[in-house]
């Protein structure tokens, strides 16, 4: 069982170039299946989720080659449209294979996807959207078979602005006959990135970034070379770590506009922020201030993927703040771990009261999901004493060598292969 051992209390200083966005790279890699040929995707982060996606693509017959952070994929000759169950269950994003395979081959067989334990994550909106385009869906013995002799554009209203459902429907609709309109679509920057990628391939998609996405079906697409946008959640995590340690960090390769709600919150706590082009400079204050109520919301609201990290910062402020988790119904498992580190937290139903304390103390804690893991590492960097964080496979899903990044910024963090005997 691998662990991070962190000796806390050192402010972070330095410059980091932020990795490409996992949540853009995953649907875009799936979307390369829409047409045969050689695609080149740049700034793909080296993450375990990306490895799982590549293993699925390989199992389908795709050939690919990494060159640093660039992947070349040859998607011409696919052997099958069945996604292996074991791979399907390794991550939620395996569901992105449905839309493109259905659009190109008229059939796909998947299983219910796995993923981090952050609450119930049904796929009803994905299935409802594909059915509206004319797919026949049968579920038996855990398989979901999806078939369509042809897909036809439709008006689809999403009961919730689901990021994944919006993306899956967009990918399925690009080769459908006629126009598809997705209403109450999610507006995340990664959806705009997917639209840009699809249009670069010759698709006709408009409106991403608003709540109505229009897709006019085209007959043909072509392979392309494309660069993924920077990861706004990784940038937010690093900025938060700089603030909680009272340090000063320059992040390059960011789109500050994608981070408005996070940056606003950091400023409310007293952090100083300067933006110049794609560079973001952040400096923490001696004792940050409480902020009142924070609610996670669909974009452009405050992102659920930053909730655990911000909880660490609010735990160290002067005064009382509250966090309400509105997107997922089980994304508070880090609360108990932060309490072990000395945070003064009271958990209600999807809401946490946070009474700021002057310091946290090192402890043995476990990452129960990706962002909870990032939060515990952040807490460890700020805490007095030594923190051991286990459950690193969650963190590796979304952060490219997080320990190396923090080491470069002066954090004292090491990855150990087994359990560390004493703190
Ligand atoms: C790879 C990727 O991009 N992951 C992100 C994506 O996940 P993901 O696309 O899975 O998240 P969704 O936006 O779909 O989920 C939002 C809410 O809708 C619900 N829901 C979703 C689909 C569905 O068919 N039925 C349904 O009820 C979910 O349970 C959840 O409560 O958006 C989440 C919300 O910003 C982020 O936390 C994830 O990092
Ligand atoms: C929940 C997340 O991702 P996924 O949807 O891939 O599980 C996340 O990135 O925080």
Of 116, 215, 235, 238, the active-site residue reads: 116
Q: Which of 84-93, 344-353, 361-370 has the lowest mean pLDDT?
A: 84-93
The residue among 96, 89, 79, 99 whose CA lies nearest residue 24 is 96
Q: Is the predicted pLDDT of residue 285 greater than 70, yes or no? A: yes
* Residue 254: partners with Cβ closer than 8 Å, 6 or more residues away: 18, 230, 232, 235, 278, 279, 280
Confidence at residue 422, expressed as pLDDT on a 0 to 100 scale: 67
Cβ distance 412 to 385 under 8 Å?
no
Around ligand 1, the residues with Cβ closer than 6 Å are 23, 26, 92-93, 120-126, 160, 162-165, 186, 190, 304-305, 327-328
Domain boundaries, the chain: 3-19+230-416, 22-227
Q: Taking every pair of C-alpha atoms in the chain, what is the biggest distance, in angstroms?
A: 64
Task: Classify domain 22-227 by CATH number.
Answer: 3.65.10.10
Pick the atom of ligand 2 nearest to 118's CA.
1
Please determine whether the domains at 3-19+230-416 and 22-227 fall in the same fold group of CATH.
yes
Q: What number is the average pLDDT over the span 251-261?
A: 98
Count of residues in the chain: 423
Q: Tell me the per-residue pLDDT of 101-145, one tens digit each, with 9 for 90 and over.
A: 999 999 999 988 887 789 889 999 999 999 999 999 999 888 999
Q: Is 388 labeled as catalytic in the residue annotation?
A: no
What is the chain's mean pLDDT, rounded?
96
Taking alpha carbons only, the member of 344, 346, 306 closest to residue 325 is: 306
- Per DSSP, the three-state class of 111 is strand
Q: What percent of the chain has pLDDT over 70?
A: 99
Q: What is the mean pLDDT of residues 29-56?
A: 97
DSSP string, 278-337: TEEEEE--SSPBP-EEEEB-STTSB-GGGHHHHHHHHHTSBSEEEEE--S-TT--THHHH
Q: How confident is the model over 288-306, as pLDDT tens digits?
A: 999 999 999 999 999 999 9
Pair 301, 325: CB distance under 8 Å? no
Q: Whose CA is nearest to atom 5 of ligand 2?
A: 92
Q: What is the dihedral of CA 59, 60, 62, 68, to 10 degrees?
A: -50
- In this structure, are residues 274 and 239 in contact, taking their beta carbons and an 8 Å threshold? no
Angle at 101 between CA 229 and CA 54, to 5 degrees: 50
Distance of CA 47 to the CA centre of its chain: 11
Average pLDDT over residues 232-236: 98
3-19+230-416 has which CATH code?
3.65.10.10
Query: What phi and psi, each to the nearest 5 degrees, are found at residue 20?
Result: -70, 160
Which whole-number Å values give the CA distances from 124 to 34, 159, 173, 198, 261, in the listed order? 23, 10, 17, 24, 29
Rounded distance from Cα 164 to ligand 1 centre (Å): 6
Specify the pairing of strand 107-111 against strand 143-147: antiparallel
Q: Whose CA is nearest to atom 3 of ligand 1?
A: 23
Other C-beta atoms lying within 10 Å of the C-beta of residue 77: 10
pLDDT attached to residue 115: 73
| Enclosing H/E stretch for 99 | helix 98-105
Residue 82: both structure tokens together: 């069945």
Cβ pair 238, 249 in contact under 8 A = yes
The ipTM estimated for the assembled molecules is 0.99
Report pLDDT for 286.
84
pLDDT tens by residue, 311-329? 999 999 999 999 999 999 9
Contact 205, 174 (CB under 8 A): yes
pLDDT for the residue numbered 191: 98
For the chain, give the percent of residues with pLDDT over 90. 92
Q: Which residues of 31-60 are buried (b: 16+ CB within 10 A; e: fewer)?
A: bbbbbbeebbbebbbebbbbebbbebbeeb
pLDDT tens profile 382-423: 999 999 999 999 999 999 999 999 999 999 999 998 776 666
pLDDT surpassing 80 at residue 63 = yes
Q: For residue 277, give every residue at least 6 positions away whose Cβ sits within 8 Å of its Cβ, in sequence order, or none.
A: none
Q: Is the pLDDT of residue 146 over 80?
A: yes
Q: Nearest CA to 4 among 418, 341, 415?
A: 415
Query: Residues annotated in the binding site for UDP-N-acetyl-alpha-D-glucosamine, as ranges?
Result: 92, 121-125, 305, 327
């Amino acid at each position: 069982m691998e662990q991070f051992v962190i000796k806390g209390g050192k402010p972070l200083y330095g410059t980091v170039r932020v990795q490409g966005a996992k949540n853009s790279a995953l649907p875009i890699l799936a979307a390369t299946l829409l047409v045969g040929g050689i695609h080149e995707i740049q700034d793909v982060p080296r993450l375990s989720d990306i490895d799982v996606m590549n293993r699925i693509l390989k199992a389908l017959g795709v050939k690919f080659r990494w060159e640093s952070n660039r992947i070349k994929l040859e998607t011409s000759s696919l052997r099958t449209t069945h996604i292996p169950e074991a791979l399907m269950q390794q991550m939620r994003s395996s569901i992105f294979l449905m839309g493109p395979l259905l659009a190109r081959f008229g059939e796909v067989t998947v299983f219910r996807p796995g993923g981090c334990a952050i609450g119930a994550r049904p796929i009803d909106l994905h299935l409802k959207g594909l059915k509206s385009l004319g797919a026949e869906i049968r579920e038996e013995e855990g398989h979901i078979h999806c078939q369509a002799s042809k897909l036809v554009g439709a008006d689809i209203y999403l009961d919730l602005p689901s990021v994944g459902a919006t993306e899956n429907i967009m990918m399925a609709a690009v080769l459908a006959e006629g126009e598809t309109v997705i209403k109450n679509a999610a507006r995340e920057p990664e959806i705009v990135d997917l639209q840009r990628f699809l249009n670069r391939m010759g698709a006709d998609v408009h409106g991403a970034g608003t709540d109505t996405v229009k897709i006019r079906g085209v007959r043909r697409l072509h392979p392309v070379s494309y660069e993924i946008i920077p990861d706004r959640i990784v940038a937010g995590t690093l900025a938060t770590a700089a603030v909680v340690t009272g340090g000063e960090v320059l992040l390059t390769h960011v789109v500050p506009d994608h981070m408005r709600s996070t940056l606003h919150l950091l400023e409310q706590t007293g952090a100083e922020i300067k933006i110049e082009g794609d560079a973001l400079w952040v400096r923490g204050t001696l004792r940050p201030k409480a902020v009142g109520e924070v609610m996670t919301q669909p974009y452009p609201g405050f992102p659920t993927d930053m909730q655990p990290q911000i909880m660490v910062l609010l735990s160290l402020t002067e005064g009382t703040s509250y966090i309400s988790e509105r997107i997922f119904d089980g994304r508070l498992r880090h609360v108990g771990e932060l309490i072990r580190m000395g945070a003064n937290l009271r958990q209600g139903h999807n809401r946490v009261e946070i009474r700021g304390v002057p310091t946290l103390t090192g402890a043995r804690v476990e990452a129960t999901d990706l962002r909870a893991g990032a939060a515990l590492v952040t807490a460890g960097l700020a805490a007095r004493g030594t923190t051991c964080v286990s459950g690193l496979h969650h963190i590796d899903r979304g952060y490219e060598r997080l320990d190396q990044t923090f080491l470069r910024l002066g954090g004292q963090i090491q990855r150990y292969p087994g359990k560390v005997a004493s703190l």
